[in-house]
């Protein structure tokens, strides 16, 4: 055997010697530690033994350890000695339970009906059988509005609508916006009240033709109150102080109340959306307008009518802008809105 082989054997022997020594040290630490752990209570056992009803401080001591939790260990082998447990006596267990005299299955419908403390069993709750959404309480109030025919759309209505739109964008809107910036809103409301009071004969006649005497009385009452107490009809005292609401009636609504259909949609130059029936109604309303007879000439009449349109447009500049920006086709949106609005006014 060479010297090199002898050295290698010596090194291997040293490694084996170190392993034996390490194993012995671990055995000396683990075996006593495991035996000691069996006599020490865990946190759950310590908390369960606390007396929370007293105000005395609990001091952990060796005397507080319960002998019931001690597990015997063989001191020689370090193994646990099995305890002798009492076998479970099934007959003794069930004999201690108080027998029930009822033969009803506790999970049956009869038991649920007898022991239901809230009275919400399926048999007693008859309200659940009725569907609260079976009938829509607002179904009668919602009426489908018929579509307005538009045979003149391509060759007349759309061209006139385009003309009116350009006239509004390049003339009416700038004039109305400037007028709005200069004239205060309260003063513009007073001018609107003057125009509405001057055109009361058309609303009065339209209400009487529809036998709506309540509205006719409101028209007369508003004129009397506003002309006497409303600074020459410029202030709407009747609505603000006496709660006499305005009346929106015209002769086109009179024709509609008698069953005359609206006819085809019609766009009038400078006057905007209308219909065949409402066009006739506008002509009758113009004749019943006192300004039609009081204005001396045609030029003066155009001036009065233009002033009224500019004043009225100043209240709706933002609304018209929002409609154009949100609508895919403003022509169709204006037509549908006009149709719905007129239908609601006729039904009222």
pLDDT digits over 109-123, tens only? 555 555 555 555 555
- Give strand pairing partners of 166: none
Sign of CA dihedral 236, 238, 240, 244: negative
147 — pLDDT class (breaks 50, 70, 90): confident
Is 315 buried (19+), middle (13-18) or exposed (0-12) by CB count in 10 A?
Answer: middle
Q: What is the pLDDT of residue 299?
A: 87
At a CB cut-off of 8 Å and minimum separation 6, what does 333 contact?
323, 327
Question: How long, in residues, is the chain?
Answer: 348
Q: Look at 159 and 52; give whichever has higher pLDDT.
A: 159
For residue 161 the two structure tokens come to 């609508």
Q: For residues 78 and 75, what is the distance between their CA atoms, to the nearest angstrom?
A: 5
> Which string of DSSP letters, residue by residue, matches 290-317?
HHHHHS-SHHHHHHHHHHHHHHHHTTSH
Domain boundaries, the chain: 1-36+68-81, 153-347
pLDDT exceeds 60 at position 54 = no
Q: What is the pTM of this model?
A: 0.59
Q: Of all residues in the chain, what percent carry a pLDDT higher than 70?
A: 58
At a CB cut-off of 8 Å and minimum separation 6, what does 178 contact?
none
pLDDT exceeds 90 at position 82 = no
- Contact indicator for 336, 141 with CB cutoff of 8 Å: no
* Highest mean pLDDT out of 50-54, 140-144, 268-272: 268-272
3-state SS assignment for residue 176: helix
Task: Compute how many other C-beta atoms are within 10 angstroms of the C-beta atom of residue 109.
Answer: 12
Closest among 344, 24, 342, 336 to 149, alpha carbons compared: 336
Which helix (H) or strand (E) is 273 found in, with range? Answer: strand 272-275
231 — pLDDT class (breaks 50, 70, 90): confident
pLDDT digits over 163-192, tens only? 999 999 999 999 999 999 999 999 999 999
**What does the radius of gyration of the chain's CA atoms come to, in whole angstroms?**
49
Q: For residues 160 and 267, what is the distance between their CA atoms, to the nearest angstrom?
A: 6
- Contact indicator for 262, 278 with CB cutoff of 8 Å: yes
- Contact indicator for 288, 202 with CB cutoff of 8 Å: yes
Q: For residues 187 and 234, what is the distance between their CA atoms, to the nearest angstrom?
A: 9
For residue 264 the two structure tokens come to 């085809």
Please measure the distance between the N-terminal and C-terminal CA atoms of the chain and give it in whole angstroms. Answer: 126
- Give strand pairing partners of 265: 275
């Amino acid at each position: 055997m060479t010297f090199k082989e002898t050295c290698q054997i010596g090194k291997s022997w040293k490694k084996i010697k170190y392993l034996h020594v390490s194993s012995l040290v671990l055995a000396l630490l683990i075996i006593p530690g495991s035996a000691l752990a069996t006599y020490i209570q865990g946190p759950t056992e310590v908390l369960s033994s606390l007396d929370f009803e007293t105000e005395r401080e609990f001091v952990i001591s060796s005397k507080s350890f319960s002998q019931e939790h001690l597990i015997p260990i063989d001191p020689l082998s370090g193994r646990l000695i099995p305890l002798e447990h009492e076998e479970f006596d099934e007959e003794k267990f069930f004999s201690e339970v108080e027998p029930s005299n009822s033969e009803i299955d506790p999970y049956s419908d009869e038991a649920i009906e007898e022991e239901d403390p809230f009275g919400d069993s399926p048999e007693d709750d008859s309200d659940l059988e009725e569907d609260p959404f079976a009938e829509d309480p607002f179904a009668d109030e919602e009426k489908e509005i018929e579509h307005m025919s538009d045979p003149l759309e391509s060759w007349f209505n759309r061209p006139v609508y385009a003309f009116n739109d350009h006239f509004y964008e390049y003339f009416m809107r700038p004039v109305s916006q400037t007028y709005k910036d200069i004239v205060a809103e309260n003063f513009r409301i007073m001018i609107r009240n003057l125009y509405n009071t001057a055109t009361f004969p058309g609303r009065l006649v339209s209400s009487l033709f529809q036998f709506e005497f309540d509205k006719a009385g409101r028209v007369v009452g508003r004129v009397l109150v506003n002309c006497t107490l409303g600074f020459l009809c410029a202030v709407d005292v009747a609505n603000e102080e006496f709660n006499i609401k305005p009346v929106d009636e015209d002769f086109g609504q009179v024709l509609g109340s008698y069953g005359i259909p609206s006819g085809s949609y019609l766009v009038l130059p400078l006057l905007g959306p209308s219909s065949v029936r409402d066009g006739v109604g506008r002509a009758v309303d113009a004749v019943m307008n006192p300004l039609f007879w009081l204005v001396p000439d045609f030029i003066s009449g155009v001036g009065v009518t233009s002033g009224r349109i500019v004043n009225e447009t100043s209240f709706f500049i933002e609304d018209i802008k929002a409609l154009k920006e949100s609508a895919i086709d403003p022509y169709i949106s204006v037509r549908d809105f006009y149709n719905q609005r007129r239908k609601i006014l006729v039904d009222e």
